[in-house]
Structure 1
Amino acid sequence: MDDSVENDWTEDSEAAETAHATSTEHRPAWQSVLLVLTCTLAMILSTASSVGLTIFYPVIGSDLAVREELLQWLASAFSLSSGCFLLLFGRLADLYGRKKLYVGGTLYLGILHLGCGFARNATTLFVLRGLQGLGAAAFIPACIGILAHAFPPSRARSVAFATFSAGAPLGGAVGTQIGAVLTQYTKSSWRSSFYLLAGISLLCAIGGLLLIDADLPSTEPNRRVDWIGAFLVTVGLVFVVFALSEGSLASKGWKTGYIIALLIVGVLFITLFIGWQHHLEKRQSEPDNRRPPPLMKLSMWRRAKGKFAVVQVIAFLQWSSFLTWSFWSQLYYENYVKLSPVHTAVRLLPMTVAGLACNVFVMFVVSRMPLVVLISSGTLLASLAGLLFAIIQPSAPYWAYGFPSAILSVCGADFVFASGTLFIAKVSLPHEQSLAGGLFQTLTRVGTAFGLAISTIAFDAIASKSESEAGAPLEAYKAAQWTAFGFAMFCTLLAVVFLRGVGPVGTDERRKDGDLEDSPGNETVAVEGEKELEA
């Protein structure tokens, strides 16, 4: 191992350990609990803002005269902006302060939620939804870095990350169940939900100011920001995700000229970004180097013998599956079965309960169960949710298809998020925690838009053949759910093939310090210039 690399790692590790010791020694237990709850509330806010609001999209469509096929933009616009800026904001959080990004992001999101509540036309609402994503892009990677800094590898860290992950199903409940009640029983209808989220945003900001540890200076010797890389990746992602989201809605579909052009230009920008990152990383070892460090080290993807990359790809595809199931199941209930928002929310309520149960389960087993078992079992169960809706019979009782599907749908997302974030934190350097978390979140956000785009193609392919004026046929909703099934099954295949041998990613405090061996065939942590899991 190169001496300079080893020294850099040692200095970063010692600084991180000192910071951990100082923060945990002087923080009372009640403050640690409130810190975790503050970050969890931010996750609730992000999820409710992103996917929880889909319950009243049909009401918005009716109120503001938005066509059904355009409703996906209310979700995709948020995911587009948040997914495209997570890397940059994750890097800024690591460099200039995670607390600053957290407080600023939550306040910003709250202000725009108020704006959405007062929006009087669809164009204004679409623009505000797109701008909202920047707030979540600021505070979600900051949360991951905050928790990784506040809790060194221990049982407490596993509990903290599992609790943080539980914010996702709770956010779905806030947006779906509470949103449905507010939409149906308040005078302001769907606007009331935006007002509620504005209040939650303010509460998050206050909690962050009072409870999050003060930002410490970055331990990196080179603290410059790779603005060229940030520009390339952001523009590339915007073009690609926009083209994916708009392709099926354009006048000539995927054959539309500007859709093809945006896809090509987007891929070109991302390719240039990868090449630029390789160039910057290669130059970092030169003594007279004056260039900034890369926004994203390409070597990160090779960590843990490539398993870092596999976990990221699984996160991307699993969110494609989960958001596809969630979006089209709600439209099925409201537009095909003709249920009210409240009745739809009741049918989706088991998702919240199952999601909380999944995160509690992960909390107890993440330090004992191999990562491959956690992820493959979660994604396999999630695939069954899509399968049940793909073969659903409207005449059958809710308990036959809808209820088990709602329970199974969250297994993949919650198992992958909780164990995946722990894995990412475990193989990342101390000064990379928010960036690595931002990368993980970037792929989940882009996966959201990707899943909605592909499932919309499947939906439209069937719906376009129907001559009925009563709405899309049942087969169109089933086609969309088949894509959810396919995404989740592919995740299962990836996990089984490429994650074999990875041991538990949580830390069991019952083990002796330094004893990292789990069982025969599992992996242990090693440092070879970068934190890796080696078989």
Structure 2
Amino acid sequence: MASSPKASSVMTTTPPPPARQLSSLSVARKMTLLATFCMAQFIDSFSISALFAATPPISADLNISDAVSVWTTSAYQLTFAAFLLTSGRLSDLYSPKYVFLVGAFLVSFTSLGCAFTRAQIPLFLLRGFMGVGAALNIPSAMQIIVRMFPTPHVQSRAVAAFAGCAGLGNVFGLIIGALLVSFASWPAVFYFITAVCFLMGSLVTVLLPFSRNHDNNTGSRLETFKRVDIVGVSLLTAALVLFVYAVTNGAAVGWSKAATLAPLVISIALGIGFFVCEAYTPEERAAVPLKMWKYENFTIIVILGLQPRMWWASVQLLYSWFYQDALGWSTIYTAIHFLPVGLVSVLFMAFTSSLQQRFRLKWVMLGGQALVLIGTILLVFGGSASRYWQFAFPGFFLGTAGTTIVFGTTNIALFAVTPPRIAATVGSILTASGQFGSAAGTAIITSIQTTVQQTHGGPDSFSGREAGLWFIVGMTAAETLSLLFFMKNVVAPSRDRTKAAPEAADVTVDAINIEKKVTEEKQTIEETVVADPTDYIE
């Protein structure tokens, strides 16, 4: 049969199933890509903790006050938290490879800009853009890892390695940052981030083939773009930024000033507007569908997710500045005194998995919360060099052990009560909760510290830091009581044998439906003359 001129002039390409394409890569290539993505997770946490060692010299060189210097970390954490949900949606609708590359190179080039800037406002803006890049990296890397390793037991090990690198980056960031500041200068921290992120982007460019989720392709670029939920995410981002700005500004100019009250009120209004917007947004387009909050234990787990990163960031911030500014310790000597945080975190990552398999998750988290509570109370009394071994060391040990247990168990508990098909979305929500807790928590605690020390001993006294630590004690106690009374008992998924078969059946059905949908799309492309070939040409 002769084809029409129009038909013969149109060339179409049939997109290969992306999951099969990635899983068929060689073992060496997949291992190299996995190591690259693990490094992305490491460097995203490193970009926060390394700044605890670099912030004092940065503040001195750029003449930044203690109340304002918190934005060297908060600007990064805020944009990181706010754009995680958008990043997950972009990775679902477009190519995760390109989402990751944009994130990696954005972090690299903005970090290079941070190394050269010598003014506080440009530094804070560049740190904010670094957070956007970091947010693009995590969900896209997770999606690629899951598709590269479709076999369940291999996939679980790959995901565990990826998640564990966040803790390692948080722990060793302070130590590496201290080494770079001590033996070079604070711009060396940003040079290090620049080099690592550029290497990551280069490796992914060369080793990872193009891939896209064709089962999420709506066929219309406008419809695809609408599913990103730009309005909802913009409301959430603005609310988070204004809230932390108000808290930070309160210590600098006063809580009764319009410059503090106005952004605080606007942030609350925008937060309410976000939830109203999500209520009227179709579920497939909403960044955070309201039905999420109806899952058992979902709300209390997300609230508990605020604490671990906040505790790590706040304790490191309060004590690292005290050791350097008040006691005159060098950055490397300060980092050595934080070694218990690193060693205990690594040890308890493995120990937590054993606890989750032996006990119900509620009681595992309650045990972790109790350790955090005891450890933080000990840290309240560690405000001198002579009290390090008596109070600070055991406080670091117990607090780190508890937060590691809570951090690891909240992830398992969340996935135990939500369907597997929305794992990426709920994972992004929990990660965003942790980052927001870290950003808002450090801002609140810094505000408490600066307010108290104005009338109780000045910046070199421990009184302001002591007040900040008591705030952490109160927050931990409130979360512990909420956990005790409001969370229902759940077990780790591998222990709940009654649900194992139905969940496995659901996963199988989902896989069959996706494969069927891809096959039907291929047949449609092959049998139909396409009017606009750009819809299918990749």
- With normalisation by structure 1, the TM-score equals 0.81
Partners in 1 of 2:97 and 2:402 — Cα distance? 30
Question: Which residue of 1 is the match for residue 524 of structure 2?
Answer: none
Written as runs of structure 1 = structure 2, the 5 A alignment for 1:93-242 is 93-151=91-149, 154-186=152-184, 189-209=185-205, 214-217=210-213, 219-220=215-216, 223=224, 224-225=226-227, 226-242=229-245
Change (3 A) 1:436 1:153: farther
- CA drift at 1:493: 2.8
- CA drift at 1:86: 1.9
Q: Which runs of no fewer than 5 residues in structure 2 stay unpaired?
A: 1-16, 511-538
Root mean square deviation of aligned Cα: 3.2
Question: Which residue of 1 is the match for residue 251 of structure 2?
Answer: 248
The one-letter code of the counterpart of 2:231 is I
- CA drift at 1:270: 1.9
**Residues 440-488 of structure 1: per-residue CA shift (max 9 Å, x gap):** 22211211122123212331342121355xx332222211111222233
Partners in 2 of 1:191 and 1:110 — Cα distance? 13
Partners in 2 of 1:108 and 1:489 — Cα distance? 40
Report if the CA contact (8 A) 1:350-1:407 is conserved.
yes
Written as runs of structure 1 = structure 2, the 5 A alignment for 1:483-502 is 483-502=471-490
The one-letter code of the counterpart of 2:246 is A
Partners in 2 of 1:362 and 1:147 — Cα distance? 23
- Establish whether residue 392 from structure 1 lines up as the match of residue 354 from structure 2: no
Written as runs of structure 1 = structure 2, the 5 A alignment for 1:7-156 is 22=20, 26=24, 33-151=31-149, 154-156=152-154
Change (3 A) 1:416 1:27: farther
Change (3 A) 1:121 1:24: closer
Partners in 2 of 1:525 and 1:427 — Cα distance? 15
Question: Which residue of 2 is the match for residue 482 of structure 1?
Answer: 470
Change (3 A) 1:211 1:438: farther
In structure 2, the residue corresponding to 1:247 is in which secondary structure? helix
- CA drift at 1:24: 8.5
Written as runs of structure 1 = structure 2, the 5 A alignment for 1:301-316 is 301-303=293-295, 305=296, 307-316=297-306
The sequence identity of aligned pairs, in percent, is 24
**Residues 172-225 of structure 1: per-residue CA shift (max 9 Å, x gap):** 344311211221112xx1111111111111232234345667533253457432
- Establish whether residue 516 from structure 1 lines up as the match of residue 506 from structure 2: no
The one-letter code of the counterpart of 1:479 is A
**Residues 485-529 of structure 1: per-residue CA shift (max 9 Å, x gap):** 223333333333333421014x47xx9xx75369xxxx98997xx
The one-letter code of the counterpart of 2:197 is S
Question: In the comparison of the two structures, how many residue pairs are matched?
Answer: 486
Change (3 A) 1:344 1:446: same
Question: Which residue of 1 is the match for residue 291 of structure 2?
Answer: 299
Report if the CA contact (8 A) 1:314-1:494 is conserved.
no
Partners in 2 of 1:39 and 1:424 — Cα distance? 23
In structure 2, the residue corresponding to 1:254 is in which secondary structure? coil
Change (3 A) 1:91 1:422: farther
The one-letter code of the counterpart of 1:108 is L
Partners in 2 of 1:492 and 1:153 — Cα distance? 37
Partners in 2 of 1:162 and 1:81 — Cα distance? 25
**Residues 358-415 of structure 1: per-residue CA shift (max 9 Å, x gap):** 2223355545543223333333322333212112252535322232233333334433
Question: Which residue of 1 is the match for residue 443 of structure 2?
Answer: 453
- With normalisation by structure 2, the TM-score equals 0.81
Partners in 2 of 1:354 and 1:434 — Cα distance? 29
- Establish whether residue 280 from structure 1 lines up as the match of residue 278 from structure 2: no
Partners in 1 of 2:33 and 2:327 — Cα distance? 43
- CA drift at 1:145: 3.4
Report if the CA contact (8 A) 1:385-1:485 is conserved.
no
Change (3 A) 1:397 1:390: closer
Report if the CA contact (8 A) 1:91-1:434 is conserved.
no
Q: Which runs of no fewer than 5 residues in structure 1 stay unpaired?
A: 1-17, 285-291
Question: Which residue of 2 is the match for residue 9 of structure 1?
Answer: none
In structure 2, the residue corresponding to 1:219 is in which secondary structure? helix
Partners in 2 of 1:214 and 1:112 — Cα distance? 25
Question: Which residue of 1 is the match for residue 324 of structure 2?
Answer: 334
Report if the CA contact (8 A) 1:93-1:101 is conserved.
yes
Question: Which residue of 2 is the match for residue 3 of structure 1?
Answer: none
In structure 2, the residue corresponding to 1:100 is in which secondary structure? helix
- CA drift at 1:433: 4.1
The one-letter code of the counterpart of 1:504 is A
- CA drift at 1:105: 0.6
Change (3 A) 1:361 1:44: same
The one-letter code of the counterpart of 2:292 is M
Change (3 A) 1:215 1:411: farther
Report if the CA contact (8 A) 1:377-1:492 is conserved.
no
Partners in 2 of 1:197 and 1:279 — Cα distance? 41
Partners in 2 of 1:160 and 1:369 — Cα distance? 25
The one of 450, 453, 462 aligned to 2:452 = 462
The one-letter code of the counterpart of 2:24 is H
Partners in 1 of 2:240 and 2:37 — Cα distance? 27
Question: Which residue of 1 is the match for residue 429 of structure 2?
Answer: 439
Change (3 A) 1:161 1:405: farther
Report if the CA contact (8 A) 2:37-2:162 is conserved.
yes
- CA drift at 1:248: 1.9
In structure 2, the residue corresponding to 1:445 is in which secondary structure? helix
Report if the CA contact (8 A) 2:382-2:388 is conserved.
no
Change (3 A) 1:38 1:408: farther
Report if the CA contact (8 A) 1:389-1:402 is conserved.
yes
Change (3 A) 1:235 1:65: closer
In structure 2, the residue corresponding to 1:388 is in which secondary structure? helix
- CA drift at 1:357: 1.6
Report if the CA contact (8 A) 2:79-2:237 is conserved.
no
- CA drift at 1:432: 4.1
Partners in 1 of 2:486 and 2:151 — Cα distance? 25
- CA drift at 1:33: 4.5
